[in-house]
A and B are shown apart, each in its own frame.
Chain A
């Protein structure tokens, strides 16, 4: 049972344009969501997170939107840069008070390719 789903295995974007990565979840107990960036043969690195009490969080070029009613979140990268090319995972945690990460459930990942 895949509780966190990233239905797009890959996304290709032109440099300077917006990249939108999507993630859906089924567990209504999830109260904290994170996005990670991962290069091959490396561990994930944290990008941005959002608590379920918010619907938007912004950090530089990265913005995460949360739609609780739809159980959907998205990561927007504007403007996209070739260095953003990587695998992006969304992850969710539950019952950690919405402030700490606890155990994470990951999506399958989306390969983002940003073309110069």
Chain B
């Protein structure tokens, strides 16, 4: 199957700093990528839809100025958590949509801990 890679897999940062998480489709071009967030023992919640070359579409309740998404190429989308606070600590997962059927492939996830 297709491969989607996230980096870093885990990151610890101080409160007030910004953290960037990368999502790459390694063997296919992804015009659309999705960012999810998962709290412990809870569902994956869709945060935003990232379209190559255009602005991301955010789900209701997600602060677009807090979670900056950039989809500069067909193989890379980035999520930047700006001025991170402890409540932003979570598991962030991206998925990439493969052309044709639009099948989704998920990255390995990134664990963010804000101290």
Residues of A within 8 A of B (CB): 2, 4, 9, 36, 41-46, 89, 96, 99-109
A41 to B109, Cβ gap below 8 A? yes
A36 and B106 alpha carbons, distance in the complex (Å): 10
Binary CB contact string for chain B from 11 to 35 against chain A (1 if under 8 A, 0 otherwise): 0000000000000000000000010
Find chain B residues with CB under 8 A from A2 CB: 43
Determine whether the beta carbon of A44 is less than 8 Å from that of B93: yes
If the complex has contacts A44-B106, A101-B103, A102-B102, are A89 and B111 also in contact, measured as CB distance less than 8 A?
Answer: no
Which residues 11-68 of B have a CB within 8 angstroms of A? Answer: 34, 36, 41-46, 49
Q: Is A103 within 8 A of B49, CB to CB?
A: yes
Known: A43-B95, A43-B107, A104-B104. 19 other contacts (CB 8 A): A4-B43, A41-B9, A41-B10, A42-B108, A42-B109, A89-B43, A89-B44, A96-B102, A99-B101, A100-B97, A100-B101, A100-B102, A101-B101, A103-B34, A103-B46, A104-B34, A104-B46, A107-B43, A109-B43
Query: How distant is the Cα of A46 from the Cα of B4 in the complex, in angstroms?
Result: 13
What string of 1s and 0s marks CB contacts (under 8 Å) between B52-94 and chain A? 0000000000000000000000000000000000000001010
With a cutoff of 8 Å between Cβ atoms, the chain B residues found around residue A44 in the complex are 44, 93, 106
Closest Cβ–Cβ distance, residue B1 to chain A (whole Å): 8
Give CA–CA (A107, B105) in the complex, Å.
18
Which of B45, B46, B91, B105 sits near A41, CB closer than 8 Å? B91
A4-B49 Cα distance, complex, nearest whole Å: 19
- Bound Cα distance from A102 to B32, whole angstroms: 9
> Cα distance A100–B103 when bound, in Å?
6
C-alpha gap A36/B109 in the complex (Å): 14
A1 to chain B, nearest CB (A): 11
Residues of B within 8 A of A96 (CB): 102
The smallest beta-carbon distance between A47 and chain B, in angstroms, is: 12
Tell me the minimal C-beta distance from A81 to chain B in angstroms. Answer: 21
Across-interface contacts of B49 in A (CB, < 8 A): 103
B77 to chain A, nearest CB (A): 14
